């Protein structure tokens, strides 16, 4: 790929680390003006500086906790204020804390809804309002999870809210297809990220060999790589993906419904 996002303004929610950071890097390399959001100012400013070294001279960091609706909406208004418009949105922020049907508290459930469903809903609302108001096409990609198909018993609120986001993706894509706004999602499988390393050590008592052991159990001999996933997201944001909208793509090496 080369220059797929030239002259595009792209907002990446949760774009300062992990999956979101890889998407932001890929978007900069493809010529986009990128806005990234995150909760920590030190991390965000350092990452924005990194993106500038990759050629994203006009990269902007907006500090925000998307669980706070006002802060989430502000990221879109700040993007429009800085660049005059928003062309593309990536909802990459996500909460993955554990909880089963039996032990999930109302507080934990509400936290997942706030980050994984409510924030993407209203970020999309604000972005689409700008696109429709300008009579301009646009693209949105929602980062989901293979767990949205059902998920693990210890990921019940996470799986539930991401399944809701998959439904929102299709509904909004259908509603705004005549506005030439394409909205798609990517169900990410087990992926090698800093966040996954922390999750394995925090919740699953993993040691330094967990990644090597996990890779050996996978059909392709490795976990998913964030740079590969980011390339797909950039493709979906770009004109190269043509007319596709309302698709939720399984980005994984396991096939839902396949049986041995």
The CATH number fitting domain 9-247, selected from 3.40.50.20, 3.40.50.720, 3.40.228.10, 3.30.70.250: 3.40.50.720
Q: Token pair of 161, please?
A: 């809210």
**Over 60: is that where the pLDDT of 216 sits?**
yes
DSSP 8-state secondary structure symbol assigned to residue 141: E
User: Mean pLDDT across the stretch 85-114?
Assistant: 97
Q: What is the pLDDT of residue 2?
A: 66
pLDDT band at 258 (very low <50, low <70, confident <90, very high): very high
Of 47, 61, 158, 190, which is the active-site residue?
158
User: Mean pLDDT across the stretch 84-99?
Assistant: 96
Cα 243 to the center of its chain, rounded Å: 21
Q: What is the pLDDT of residue 202?
A: 85
Q: pLDDT digits over 169-182, tens only?
A: 999 999 999 999 99
C-alpha span between 215 and 92 (Å, rounded): 24
Q: What percent of the chain has pLDDT over 70?
A: 99
DSSP 8-state secondary structure symbol assigned to residue 249: E
Q: pLDDT digits over 115-168, tens only?
A: 999 999 999 999 999 999 999 999 999 999 999 999 999 999 999 999 999 999
Q: pLDDT digits over 40-56, tens only?
A: 999 999 999 999 999 98
**Over 80: is that where the pLDDT of 38 sits?**
yes
158 catalytic per annotation: yes
Q: What is the pLDDT of residue 170?
A: 98
All structural domains of the chain with their residue ranges: 9-247
Q: Token pair of 69, please?
A: 């609706």
Q: Which residue has the higher pLDDT, 212 or 88?
A: 88
8 A C-beta contact, residue 75 and residue 123: yes
pTM (2 d.p.): 0.94
**Over 60: is that where the pLDDT of 1 sits?**
no
8 A C-beta contact, residue 21 and residue 47: yes
Helix axes of 106-113 and 156-175: crossing angle, nearest 10 degrees = 30
Q: What is the pLDDT of residue 215?
A: 92
């Amino acid at each position: 790929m080369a220059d797929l996002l030239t002259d595009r303004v792209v907002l990446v929610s949760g774009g300062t680390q992990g999956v979101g950071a890889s998407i932001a890097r890929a978007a900069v390399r493809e010529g986009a003006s990128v806005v990234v959001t995150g909760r920590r100012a030190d991390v965000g400013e350092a990452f924005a500086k990194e993106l500038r070294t990759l050629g994203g001279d006009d990269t902007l960091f907006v500090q925000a906790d998307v669980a706070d609706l006002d802060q989430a909406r502000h990221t879109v208004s700040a993007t429009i204020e800085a660049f005059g418009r928003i062309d593309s949105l990536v909802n990459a922020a996500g909460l993955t804390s554990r909880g089963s049907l039996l032990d999930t508290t109302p507080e934990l459930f509400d936290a997942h809804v706030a980050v994984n469903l409510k924030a993407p809903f209203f970020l999309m609302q604000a972005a689409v309002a700008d696109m429709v108001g300008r009579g301009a096409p646009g693209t949105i990609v929602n980062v989901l999870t293979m767990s949205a198909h059902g998920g693990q018993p210890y990921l019940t609120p996470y799986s539930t809210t991401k399944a809701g986001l998959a439904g929102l993706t299709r509904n909004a894509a259908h509603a705004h297809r005549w506005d030439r706004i394409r909205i798609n999602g990517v169900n990410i499988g087990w992926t090698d990220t800093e966040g996954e390393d922390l999750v394995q050590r925090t919740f699953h008592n993993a040691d330094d060999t967990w990644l090597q052991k996990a890779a050996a159990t996978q059909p392709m001999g490795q976990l998913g790589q964030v740079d590969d996933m980011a390339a797909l997201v950039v493709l979906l944001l770009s004109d190269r993906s043509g007319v596709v909208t309302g698709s939720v793509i399984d980005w994984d090496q396991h096939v839902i419904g396949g049986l041995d």
